[in-house]
Amino acid sequence: MSALRVVCNQVSNPRATVMTGSMIEICEKCGQSVWLSPATAITVQEAMALNPDWSRREIICVPCASEVTEKILLMAPSPGQVAEIKAEVARRNA
């Protein structure tokens, strides 16, 4: 069984965009605090329910993700994630 890797921005990154309602999680590689948006959390639950090969989720930060050497499959943003981004951009531009 494999893990669904979820790549998140580090809380310490001042340039990271933080979606409203984001939760703090911990990178499973380095222990740094990371942001997990509400839409991403839902997308992860839905993806894991549809794919029995993913036995668990693995939260990792962007720097740790850049060190991954095995082949990975990237998922396109879900409709919920796209809507969340659009709403955040609109909120910031209001």
The tens place of each residue's pLDDT in the chain, 94 residues long, gives 588 899 999 999 999 989 999 999 999 999 999 999 999 999 999 999 998 888 889 999 999 998 887 777 778 889 999 999 999 999 889 8
- Interior angle at CA 37, CA 91 and CA 80, nearest 5: 75
For the chain, give every domain's residue range: 2-93
Q: Report the alpha-carbon distance of residue 6 to residue 40 in Å, rounded.
A: 8
pTM: 0.84
Placement of tokens 């839902």 in the chain = 42
Placement of tokens 């999680």 in the chain = 25
3-state secondary structure at position 22: coil
